[in-house]
């Protein structure tokens, strides 16, 4: 079952199409990483899913039910963490969480217990300090707390770590990691290390187009997995010259004591090995290098623009 689905979703600003017939689906219970460069259309997609902006065309489904701009019921199923959360400056964390519970009709006798539990979960001190005095990281943790307090099925996060320092980022990632498996998480970012760490599937958005959508493993396997590390007894700089001349090698660079090269898509490693033997190279190490998501991202987005 799809928790979130968009069908041919389009949006334009000032006659510029920023989201082009987007078709994505987020399965129930998975952590979906929505990645793309700045300006790719990630926030626009999230705003459309949440009915914060009006779409030009297309449909949005939450739990298989189509939503309209004025619908409210689906919002009970969602917890939203914006990229830059802004709270009423006169409130403290507890006030805001109480307000959220009230809005979701959950303002019962358990309010205090619920707010204390959630503040503990996101490691925020339960103080009466006004939110206006919070650091960026604390505000982000409060944003996560208010998104979780009504126990929603779906959490939508818009670049929750983009402006945080490494410690704040790690804290937020740990929270997402703790939620894995219990919630559907739709998480937009351009920090690919985070995606590799927590996401089950990813969607890569580039210039308003979803150019790939699959599991992290499949993407690494299917896209650009022909990356090899070769070390011979010969000096790397000489080996590099030889390897660069092989027709099936797309790109080769010196790395540590060996060479990292990319083979053409339909070429297998045996061809490369055979060529190296023919060159009388004594191979010390020959292995396939696991492609990072960053490689995939850079190559896919570059491929499209070149």
Partner 1 sequence: MKKLLKYDYQYLKRTSKFIIFPVVIIILAVLSPLTARYLNEILAFSLGDQAGMFNFPDPVVFDSYVEYLSNLSDIYLYVIIFIGVGTFINDKTKGLYPLILSKPINRVKYLLSKYMTLSSLIFVSLMVGMLVFSFYTYYIFGEVDLLNVFLLSLLYFIYVELILAIAMFSAMYFKSYITAVMITFAGYILVSLINVFSFEFLKYMPGMISSNIIQVISNSASTPDVIYNVVVTLVITGLLVVLSITKFKKYDLN
Q: Which residues bind partner 1 (CB under 8 A)?
A: 13, 47, 50-54, 69-70, 72-73, 75-76, 78, 80, 82, 84-91, 95, 99-100, 102-104, 107, 143, 146
What is the smallest separation between the CB atom of 50 and partner 1, expressed in angstroms? 5
| CA dihedral sign, ordered 189, 195, 198, 199 | positive
Nearer to partner 1 by Cβ, of 93 and 261: the residue is: 93
Upper half-sphere CA count for residue 171 (Cβ side, 13 Å) = 19
3-state secondary structure of 72: coil
Nearer to partner 1 by Cβ, of 82 and 168: the residue is: 82
Nearer to partner 1 by Cβ, of 157 and 259: the residue is: 157
User: Residue 152 has which token pair?
Assistant: 């929603």
Long-range pairs for 118-127: beta carbons < 8 A, 24 or more residues apart? 118/145, 118/148, 118/149, 119/93, 119/94, 119/145, 121/145, 121/148, 121/175, 121/178, 122/148, 122/175, 123/171, 124/93, 126/93, 126/94, 127/92, 127/93
E strand residue ranges, the chain? 2-13, 16-27, 31-36, 57-62, 65-66, 78-81, 154-158, 184-189, 201-206, 209-215, 227-232, 249-255, 258-263, 283-288
Nearer to partner 1 by Cβ, of 4 and 243: the residue is: 4
Nearer to partner 1 by Cβ, of 59 and 215: the residue is: 59
What is the smallest separation between the CB atom of 227 and partner 1, expressed in angstroms? 40
Nearer to partner 1 by Cβ, of 69 and 238: the residue is: 69
What is the smallest separation between the CB atom of 84 and partner 1, expressed in angstroms? 7
Rounded distance, CA 292 to CA 256, Å? Answer: 18
Place of tokens 């090899």: 228
What is the smallest separation between the CB atom of 76 and partner 1, expressed in angstroms? 5
3-state secondary structure of 266: coil
What is the smallest separation between the CB atom of 110 and partner 1, expressed in angstroms? 17
Nearer to partner 1 by Cβ, of 78 and 296: the residue is: 78
What is the smallest separation between the CB atom of 74 and partner 1, expressed in angstroms? 8
What is the smallest separation between the CB atom of 179 and partner 1, expressed in angstroms? 18
User: Residue 56 has which token pair?
Assistant: 């030009």
């Amino acid at each position: 079952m799809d928790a979130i689905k968009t069908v041919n979703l389009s949006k334009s600003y000032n006659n510029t199409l920023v989201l082009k017939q987007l078709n994505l689906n987020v399965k129930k219970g998975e952590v979906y990483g929505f990645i793309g460069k700045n300006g790719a259309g990630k926030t626009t997609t999230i705003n459309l899913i949440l009915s914060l902006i009006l779409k030009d065309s297309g449909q949005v489904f939450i739990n298989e039910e189509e939503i309209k701009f004025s619908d409210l019921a689906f919002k009970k199923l969602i917890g939203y963490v914006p990229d830059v959360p802004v709270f009423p400056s006169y409130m403290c964390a507890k006030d805001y969480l109480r307000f959220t519970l009230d809005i979701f009709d959950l303002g019962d006798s358990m309010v205090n217990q619920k707010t204390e539990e959630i503040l503990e979960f996101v490691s925020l001190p339960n103080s009466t300090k006004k939110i206006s005095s919070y650091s960026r990281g604390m505000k982000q943790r409060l944003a996560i707390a208010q998104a979780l307090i009504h126990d929603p099925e779906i959490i939508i996060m818009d670049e929750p770590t983009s402006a945080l320092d490494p410690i704040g980022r790690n804290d937020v990632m740990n929270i997402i990691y703790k939620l894995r498996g219990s919630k559907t998480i739709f998480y937009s970012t351009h920090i690919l290390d985070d995606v590799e760490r927590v996401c089950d599937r990813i969607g890569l958005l580039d210039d308003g187009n979803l150019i790939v959508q699959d599991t992290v493993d499949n993407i690494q396997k299917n896209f650009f997995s022909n990356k090899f590390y070769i070390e011979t007894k010969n000096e790397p700089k000489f080996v590099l010259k030889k390897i660069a001349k092989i027709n099936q090698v797309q790109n080769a660079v010196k790395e540590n004591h060996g060479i990292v090269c990319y083979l053409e898509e339909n070429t297998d490693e045996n061809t490369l090995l055979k060529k190296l033997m023919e060159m009388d190279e004594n191979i010390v190490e020959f292995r396939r290098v696991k492609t990072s998501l960053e490689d995939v991202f850079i190559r896919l987005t570059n491929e499209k623009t070149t």
